[in-house]
Amino acid sequence: MHQMTEKLLTLWPELVMLIGACACLLVGLSPSASTRKGPAWVAALTLITAAHLVIFSNAFNPDPLHGHGALAVQLDTVSFIKLAIIAVGLLLLMVASQVPDRLRQTIDAEQRAQRGAPFETGDALNGEFFAFFLFSLTGAMLCAGARDLVWLFLALELTSLPTYVMVAIARDRADAQEAAVKYFFLGAMAAAVFLYGFTLIYGATGYTQYDQIITYIHTLTAQGTPVSPLFIAGIVLAIVGVSFKIAAVPMHFYAADVYQGAATPVTAFLAFVPKTAGFIALLGLLSLAAPLGYTQLQPITWLLWTMAVLTMTVGNILGLLQNNVKRVLAYSSIAHSGYMLVGLIAAHAAATHPDAAPAQNALGNGTAALLFYLVAYGLATLGAFAVLGCVTHKGDEAQTFDDIAGLGRRHPMLGAVMLLSVLSLVGLPPMVGFLGKIYLFGSAFQHGFVWLVVIAVLNSAVSAVYYLRIIGACYFSQPNDDTQAIPVPARRIGAAVAALAALALGIAGNQLVDAVNDATITTTDDTQTVPAPTRHVSTNW
């Protein structure tokens, strides 16, 4: 079978997502008012269908870890990532389902249509908003299956470009447009940086496909031929550029302003989807350099180590200085990127260090720890932002500590969701954040990064100050009479499900971690042998 045909057969979930996005656009343009409210349902059906396709594509594969005769859903890493994106995407859809309906532009257009005036299709944004929602999720899913630098670039841009528009259109304030412009231009700069890194990798190896690059580097290493310095420079530039997606130092400056300016449900989307795509891309990029070994890759290891320390430290220190809850959660997001970089460093060390023994369980598997923590962080931060999205202060969304004062007493369910979400972000048992940090920091500790783990634990302790400040405002401050809870049932349900899932995974999440560990082992076993490249280029640039 042709290689392109084989690749397309693995992309049915993404193809369904793209078809669903186009369907959202068409439904949103309907002349019928009731039909124009359907894009959210179309998006939900699309995500459920895509999840079934991911699951059923693995349902009848022999389970290599439990005997050849067993039939089980044995997911590889790519399938697990896709399912995680879809699962959190469904919760994000519930949180964002009423965003277009509450826009002044949409309300005015519907009111004019009700009075008998012709409906102007450009005035309602339901179709466009949910189409961009699905396009961005599709990009993140494509990042998971990317095995080519060109593919990865297109997938990263498909993830990011829709979010620029979502930030601009989802809120009736100039702050949103300002945030979108800042986000777009910094994102364009970051894209230029990592694309330049990709070109250097191609120039040094002559290939864009991962397998061919890895085999080429293996060949040079076996022959004792030094790799071109352009290759290392390309990896470094690619890491720095992609760090924009995860809001890591030094590409973190946009996060607080964009998170504050965007509509709260969109902020929740930004906190999970681009970050997930970014870390998936980093895992793939680091795999390209792994054949060089630990010694030659020490500059990259120290780059990641420095980024991790600065990211978690800057995020937590600046988080202490904020009076806006959305900005606090923005700097929290930066800090959590630092924690996840710890897992990425452990995964990188396991692939490159000559003395690193294969992980016998999930506690020593940095890749499994990172993927699990992405889910844990996504659930916790979604719950926190969803609660903010359920509350308004004088007609505008809640943002400050005064806006959520007494929330736990006036609205016990919302207060409980915020409590569970914040406890998970702190990393306290029995929440999933605690279990996630155990695996993240444990994997780094097992690979000898003791001081990095010490710094991460100290940063986690510092973060408790501003997280507990949020809890204190909800439960120990006098209620604010100007703060009202808005009737958004889907958003409340999404918030509650995310918080309960964070609690349930904290109690019984070991099985999920083991499943992720098995997935990474399966993927590694399936990709050990790659064809030797036939093209050779000079390394003396």
Q: What is the DSSP string of 477-493?
A: SPPPTTEEE---HHHHH
- C-alpha 57/C-alpha 13 separation (Å) is 10
Q: Return the CA Rg of the chain.
A: 23
Return the domain boundaries, the chain. Answer: 12-107+122-526
The SS3 of residue 62 is strand
CA distances (Å), 213 to each of 221, 235, 277, 340, in order? 12, 12, 21, 26
Q: What is the pLDDT of residue 498?
A: 95
Per-residue pLDDT of the chain (541 residues; tens, 9 = 90+): 566 666 677 788 999 999 999 999 999 888 777 788 889 999 999 999 999 999 887 654 444 333 333 333 446 888 889 999 999 999 999 999 888 888 887 777 777 777 777 766 666 788 899 999 999 999 999 999 899 999 999 999 999 999 999 999 888 888 888 999 999 999 999 999 999 999 999 999 999 999 999 999 989 988 888 888 999 999 999 999 999 999 999 889 999 999 999 999 999 999 999 999 999 999 999 999 888 887 788 889 999 999 999 999 999 999 999 999 999 999 999 999 999 999 999 988 888 765 555 555 667 788 889 999 999 999 999 999 999 999 987 777 888 898 899 888 889 999 999 999 999 999 998 999 999 999 999 999 988 899 999 999 999 999 999 999 999 999 998 887 777 888 889 999 999 999 999 999 998 877 778 777 777 765 554 444 334 344 443 333 3
Q: Specify the pLDDT at position 528.
A: 42
Rounded CA-CA distance 261/320 in Å is 20
Sheet holding 391-393, edge to edge: 396-397, 391-393, 483-485
DSSP 361: S
Closest CA to 528 of 293, 300, 268, 287: 287
Q: What is the DSSP letter of 262?
A: S
Q: Report residue 256 CA to chain centroid gap.
A: 17
| pTM of the predicted structure, to 2 decimals | 0.91
How high is the pLDDT of residue 503?
94
User: Could you give the C-alpha distances from 340 to 31, 86, 372, 452, in angstroms and in order?
Assistant: 47, 20, 10, 12
Residue 528, judged by CB atoms within 10 A of its CB (0-12, 13-18, 19+), counts as exposed
88-110 burial: b if 16+ Cβ within 10 Å, else e: bbbbbbbbbbbbbbebeebeebb
CA 338 to chain centre: 14
